[in-house]
Structures are given as structure tokens and as C-alpha cells.
Chains A and B, each alone.
Chain A
Amino acid sequence: MTTPAAYQVSHLDALEAESIFVMREVVAEMERPVLLFSGGKDSIVMLRLAQKAFAPANIPFPVMHVDTGHNFPEVLEYRDQRVAELGLQLVVASVSEALASGLVRESADGMRNRIQTPVLLDAVEKHRFDALFGGARRDEEKARAKERVFSFRDEFGQWDPKNQRPELWSLYNGRHHPGESIRVFPLSNWTELDIWHYIARERIPLPSIYYAHEREVIERDGMFYAVNEFFRPRAGEERFKAQVRYRTVGDASCTAAVRSDADTVEKVIEEVAATRITERGATRGDDRVSEAAMEDRKREGYF
């Protein structure tokens, strides 16, 4: 916390101050911002920062969930409860509806990560959102490490990593033509460990699947997938019960759990501080497709 005597703030306070500054810039300068809220820990922290940035007023923008239809029930429940508590407007961009209307087609492997993008872009166009807050952090992945805080998207939602706008000091350029938009990443400089320290400090409740619990899983490529209606074991994959928790929460058909006994926030912090594998490396089947899987998805408009 702050020690006024020396006029120093802790790094967590410095990160919080920077994120709040970014959120206020967006609301002051952009016309129709929206916050992408998945019910994952990063978007939950982002929502807390939004509360702080505008207090005692309410959060001055809606939230949007890109719903792949493959959800963890605990996460959906959490989403609805949080939205109700804060009196927020929730926009749901539904992949299932987009499949039904023919906007997208199910991919061969059944994973819905890639087909989320057209659904997201469609909702952005329909609601004419011009600024989208995302909870992506630069420490997550090597393509994300390259992204600006204000990241310009053309009218097709595309990111051009070779031609990003210079971003000096804290002067963010959100200017754009109609149809173009800005993705804004207030948590750019936070690490996974910072997020957990903040969750502990602020006593932020999370969906229960972030803490250790017993679950029926199968092991594939060294990762533990929950057996549920969206995830079918292949022949020869054996089901067993294990103590696990989720380090990330994404589409339930491609997000894996990690073995863990960490059932409190303090234990999770210890675990995260000691881990030698990145959160995406430990939990995401979709990043294993190729070396540049994330960069390619981002170019198309993914977060």
C-alpha cells in the first residue's frame, strides 16, 4: 500500500492507477465503449477497476459476453450474479445463434475458439461499439507482448502487427473512422501473479472453478480436461477423479485444468509464484496448433 512519507506507491498501486487512467481516457474520448466480460479472472479484475475508476458513479458502459455455448455453469452463474449486482447492461454475442443463422460453421475439430471472432465482430457492428475493453495481458503470450494499450482495428476487425500506431507516454490515440474500432487493454502490464495479488488484496470473489476441487477428467497432451457434455474422451482415454483447478477460463471444450490443492487465494498465489509453466501453456489446447496460432487469430480480430 502507499507510504505517503516517502511518496512511493507499491507496484500493485502503480498498476491500478495506470489501468484506471486508461479506462477514464476511453470513456472521455470514445463514443460507445463496451467491456468484454467472460467471467474469467482478468475480466473480473477489469470490472473491479472500472468500478473504482468511476465511483461513486456507476460503470458508464455495458459489458459483452461472447458466449461460445461451451460454458462452465459456475462461470455463467457468476456472470449473471455480478451483472445484476452492479446493475450493468449485458450484451450476449452467441456463437450458438450464429451457428443456427449460418453466420459461422462449426470447425472440424469442434473447437469454437476461432469461430468466436466473426460473432464478436458482428456484435460490434450491430451495436456500433467503437472501443472494446479486453482483459488480455502482455505476459500471456508472445504476440500479445507486442500489442499497444490502444490497439487499432480496421473495419474488418483486423490487427496489423507490422504497422501499429506509435504510443508515446500515456497519450493514447483513439481516433478512428466510422466502422473502425479500438481494442483497449487496461491490464497490459499486469502479470498473472499481479492479478492474483490484487484478487487477494481486494477480496474479489471468483467462480469456484479457480480453486481446487475434485473433478472427473481425462489426460491429453499432459493437460487435464473435464469430462462434460462439450468434451468427449477419445477411445482409450481413461476417466479418473483428480484434485484440479482452472488457471484460465475459456471455452469449455478446449480449456484444461491443472492438478492443484490450492483451495484458497493464498495457496493459489503460492502455486502461481512457483509454477514453471505459463498459464496458456498449461491450459489451452487451441494455442498448440502452431507457433503463431495466437498471432493469426488476433490478425483476424480475435482478442
Chain B
Amino acid sequence: MSTEIMASANAEARAVTGAGPEARAMDLLRFATAGSVDDGKSTLIGRLLYDTKSLFTDQLAAVEAVSAARGDEYTNLALLTDGLRAEREQGITIDVAYRYFATPRRKFIIADTPGHIQYTRNMVTGASTADLALILVDARKGLVEQSRRHAFLCSLLRVPHLVLCVNKMDLVDWSQEVYEQIADEFTAFAAKLDAPDLTVVPISALRGDNIVTRSENMPWYEGPSLLHHLERVHIASDRNLVDVRFPVQYVIRPQSTTVTDYRGYAGQVASGVLKTGDEVMVLPSGFTSRIAAVETADGPVAEAFPPMSVTVRLADEIDISRGDLICRPNNAPAVAQDIEAMVCWMDETAPLRVGGRYAIKHTTRSARAIVRGLHYRLDINSLHRDESADELRLNEIGRVRLRTTVPLLADEYRRNRTTGGFVIIDEATNRTVGAAMIVEAT
């Protein structure tokens, strides 16, 4: 008995196939876990994989063997994602683990991120591409500083959908009162963040309550199970199909005797819809032309939209290179060297300081930047702005003014997650030291 999986309290586990009928067009939901250390993120992911029958027998056997050898009372499902030696020694998640599963409704990419404050940068890595974040809170402890930090980071990164999972309900006697108090406190905090769509679910990751099927231990909860929500949350309208933004990644010019005079601009559509015949403008030059063709290796397409990787050909010969951007003449991003941005600092060796010089990478454009000012540093608990701050240390967040060597073709991050974000790189160590979200570009 010692190392069994905790029996699911739910009547019957639903039959879901781990494979899914992929031949049909299925959409993809990327979600990340968040929340403080030990609140049960990895256990939840293990449970979700286990209860959807997405685990392979050898993976499960390996985890059962490790749990048994360590004398765990039950199989520790967190070991399914905590795969590094150091993670298993310390019993915590250090870096993001990516896992994949599918149900007949959707395909999922999971990023299980660490809760420990030291590894916040890895949480940010996992959340930056997520459509949805699961924020876990231990029902016994309620919201702690790290829950607030992660919720704030999710809102800063504009993860479009948040789910607060009040976990370990088994340890608070499935109490509706405890649940509601945490849900209310979080909802009040989230209101200040202008967090988008928020859903709250009481769960026990360990026992499987409200994960795949609804729990019988909490009849007072009337909402759907977590999986039910993940399968149905509406994400199609999260994409920006209005503002045409096509950062040029690479110019394709075959050196060939059979294909001559070919010049195509390769890239991935960041937002908007590009069509043959559309009038376009190229930045930073400002020249205009028409789209002669939108091509892929499989032939021309009528339209291109996110996240398609295509090659655009223009009617006129214009000098265009990597880092330029194709948009519409009446809807263009700023061409700006003075950038106001919220910055999350990720370097433990040196703080961000006014006067500091860095390399930056924004869409397909690289530049250098100097920090001209630090308006304030945010206190994560109170959201109070400390305007006397003169540096940002590891894991601190603040509003920064930068001047870049060349113009960025930039939108506000809240309007565009691709043309609104950039990373800051230390030129000496080459490490990525900051994540920046543009508030204003002039």
C-alpha cells in the first residue's frame, strides 16, 4: 500500500485518450503553473496527466520506484515533472518542465514552473508564452507574497486567462468558508492588477478532486472541473487580428540558376491578416508598396495570420532587411528610441542601474540601450510605488526609461505581446538579464 497513487475521490475517472484524434484540426492551449513553493503545482500536473491517462507505464513505474525507494507514503506525482537530479534531491522545482497531452477536444502544452523565489526568472520564462496560468494557493496558508508576485507577473505578461486553484482542500476539511475567503482575497487583489479573465476552483491535487472530474467531497462547489475549463476556455479571440505586424526575419534570395531575381521576406506574422494586393508600409524607411504574393514552401496562400511562418513578396524593389517591419500605412507601430517599459530584473550578479548599458532584442531587431531613468520600483504585496529606488535587483519589478541606439518598431505590450516585449542582455556575460514590457514608445 505504501506507494500507491492516492485513490481518486471521484466516482469514475473519465475515459480520455492520451493520444487524441490528431488528424482533425485541433487547437492548442498553452498553460503554465504559478504560485508559491510547495503549493502543489507539480503534483497538480502529475495528477492531470495521470487522470487523463496521458502517462506511459514506464514513466509511472520509474516514479513509483523512486518514491518507494525514498520511503514516501504515496507515489509523489511531482516527480513526473521534477526530473532533474537537483530537483529530486531538494524536493522543489528549479526550472520549467514542459509536458504534453491531448484530449479529444484540445491539445495542451504545459509549462510547470518553479515557485521558489530564487527561480522567478524560470517562472517568467514559462508564463511568457502561456494562454492561461494556473495560480495555486495552499488552502492552509492562503495568499502569500509569492502568490501575489506570480499573479502580478502573470498580469504584467498579460497571460489572457487566469485560474486560481485553491489547493490542498483535503487538509482544510473541504471547507467552503476557507475557499471563499481565499477566493475573495485573491479577487480583490486581481482587481487592482486589471487581470483579464479569472476563474476560481477548489481542488486537491494530491487526491484528484475537481481536476478531471468534479469532486464528491465539495458538493457546495458548482463550477466545472479544472480540465473541463481548460478544454473549453475560449482563446481564439485573444489573438490580435487587427494590427498588421510582420517583422522581417530573413531575406530569401536564392543564389541559383533556376530561380532568378527572387526576393522574399521571411517571417512569422505577429498580428493582423496579410493578403495579396494589400497596400503596405515598410518601417523604419516608411516606403510603401503592395503585397505581390504571400508564399510558403507548399505554394502561395490567400492570407497569412498568426502564427503562420510565411514569405512575403512585394510589388516594388525596396531595400528591406532583417529587423524591418511590414505594416499597413494607416496602422503602424511607433518608430521610437525613447522607451518606457515595465522591467522584471533577472540577474543575481548585478542590479539594473540608471546609466547602465545593455544589448536588447526586440522582435527580430537587436540594438543597444542605455537606462535613462527608473521611475519607481513596485512593492509586490501592496503594489505601492517606491519612487526613491535607484536600482532593480534580482526579481524586482519597476518602470524604466530607456534610450535605444536605433529605433524600435514598437507597440504597447498590452496591445501586442510580440511587438511590445523585449529582452535585456548583459553584453559582457551574454546572459538574458531582464524582461521588458513596453508601456509607451516615442
Interface residues in chain A, defined as those with a beta carbon under 8 Å from any beta carbon in chain B? 1-4, 6-14, 16-18, 20-21, 24-25, 27-28, 51-58, 138-139, 141-143, 145-146, 148, 161-162, 164-171, 173, 175-177, 188-189, 191, 193-194, 197, 272-278, 281-282, 291-292, 295
- Interface contact A278-B56, CB-CB below 8 Å: yes
Q: How many angstroms from the CA of A58 to the CA of B252 in the assembled complex?
A: 10
Interface residues in chain B, defined as those with a beta carbon under 8 Å from any beta carbon in chain A? 17, 19, 22-23, 25-28, 56-59, 62, 66, 80-81, 83-86, 94-100, 107, 109, 121-122, 124-125, 128-129, 236, 239, 241, 249-250, 252-256, 259, 262, 266-268, 273, 296-298, 301-303, 305, 307-309, 311, 322, 346, 359, 361-362, 364, 417-418, 421-423, 425, 430-432, 435
Chain A residues whose C-beta falls within 8 Å of the C-beta of B266 in the assembled complex = 24, 53-54
Selected from A54, A55, A291, the residue in CB contact (under 8 A) with B62 is A291
Selected from B25, B66, B98, B417, the residue in CB contact (under 8 A) with A188 is B98
Chain A residues whose C-beta falls within 8 Å of the C-beta of B25 in the assembled complex = 1, 3, 8-11
Chain B: which residue is nearest A25 at the CB level? Answer: B249
Chain A: which residue is nearest B361 at the CB level? Answer: A171
Instruction: Decide yes or no: A277 and B58 within 8 Å by CB, A56-B252, A166-B125, A189-B109 being known contacts.
Output: yes
- Interface contact B250-A27, CB-CB below 8 Å: yes
- Interface contact A7-B62, CB-CB below 8 Å: no
- B369 to chain A minimum Cβ distance, whole angstroms, is 14
Q: How many angstroms from the CA of A162 to the CA of B97 in the assembled complex?
A: 12
- Given A8-B25, A57-B254, A145-B98, 6 additional A-B pairs, CB 8 A: A17-B308, A20-B268, A21-B249, A24-B309, A146-B97, A166-B125
- Interface contact B98-A4, CB-CB below 8 Å: no
Instruction: Decide yes or no: A167 and B432 within 8 Å by CB, A17-B308, A20-B309, A188-B98 being known contacts.
Output: yes
Chain B: which residue is nearest A198 at the CB level? Answer: B22
- Interface contact B125-A11, CB-CB below 8 Å: no
Chain B residues whose C-beta falls within 8 Å of the C-beta of A272 in the assembled complex = 19
Q: How many angstroms from the CA of A141 to the CA of B83 in the assembled complex?
A: 9
Instruction: Decide yes or no: A166 and B346 within 8 Å by CB, A145-B81, A273-B17 being known contacts.
Output: yes
Q: How many angstroms from the CA of A27 to the CA of B267 in the assembled complex?
A: 13
Chain B residues whose C-beta falls within 8 Å of the C-beta of A4 in the assembled complex = 301-303, 305
- Interface contact B307-A145, CB-CB below 8 Å: no
Selected from B122, B252, B303, B421, the residue in CB contact (under 8 A) with A169 is B421
Chain B: which residue is nearest A3 at the CB level? Answer: B25
- Interface contact A7-B430, CB-CB below 8 Å: no
Selected from A24, A162, A189, the residue in CB contact (under 8 A) with B98 is A189
Selected from A58, A143, A275, the residue in CB contact (under 8 A) with B83 is A143
Chain B residues whose C-beta falls within 8 Å of the C-beta of A281 in the assembled complex = 56, 58-59
- Interface contact A168-B435, CB-CB below 8 Å: yes
- A288 to chain B minimum Cβ distance, whole angstroms, is 10
Selected from B97, B128, B322, the residue in CB contact (under 8 A) with A168 is B128
Selected from A13, A53, A168, A194, the residue in CB contact (under 8 A) with B432 is A168
Selected from A56, A168, A191, A277, the residue in CB contact (under 8 A) with B259 is A56
Chain A residues whose C-beta falls within 8 Å of the C-beta of B86 in the assembled complex = 161-162
Of A11, A12, A141, most buried by chain B (CB within 10 Å of CB) is A11
- Interface contact B268-A21, CB-CB below 8 Å: yes
Of B268, B418, B435, most buried by chain A (CB within 10 Å of CB) is B268
Q: How many angstroms from the CA of A275 to the CA of B62 in the assembled complex?
A: 17
Q: How many angstroms from the CA of A173 to the CA of B423 in the assembled complex?
A: 9
Selected from B56, B85, B125, B255, the residue in CB contact (under 8 A) with A276 is B56
Instruction: Decide yes or no: A167 and B125 within 8 Å by CB, A10-B26, A52-B296, A142-B83 being known contacts.
Output: yes
- Interface contact B305-A56, CB-CB below 8 Å: no
- Interface contact A146-B84, CB-CB below 8 Å: yes
- Interface contact A276-B22, CB-CB below 8 Å: no
Chain B: which residue is nearest A13 at the CB level? Answer: B308
Q: How many angstroms from the CA of A4 to the CA of B303 in the assembled complex?
A: 7
Chain B residues whose C-beta falls within 8 Å of the C-beta of A1 in the assembled complex = 25
- Interface contact B254-A58, CB-CB below 8 Å: yes
Chain B: which residue is nearest A296 at the CB level? Answer: B85
Chain B: which residue is nearest A164 at the CB level? Answer: B95
- Interface contact B432-A165, CB-CB below 8 Å: yes
Instruction: Decide yes or no: A165 and B431 within 8 Å by CB, A8-B27, A12-B22 being known contacts.
Output: yes
- Interface contact A175-B56, CB-CB below 8 Å: no
- Interface contact A28-B297, CB-CB below 8 Å: no
- B242 to chain A minimum Cβ distance, whole angstroms, is 11
Instruction: Decide yes or no: A161 and B84 within 8 Å by CB, A166-B435, A171-B361 being known contacts.
Output: yes
28 A–B pairs (Cβ distance < 8 Å), ordered by A: A9-B307, A9-B308, A16-B309, A24-B267, A53-B297, A54-B266, A56-B252, A57-B253, A57-B262, A143-B83, A145-B81, A161-B95, A166-B435, A167-B125, A168-B125, A169-B128, A169-B129, A169-B418, A170-B268, A171-B362, A171-B423, A173-B361, A177-B430, A188-B98, A275-B56, A282-B58, A291-B62, A292-B84
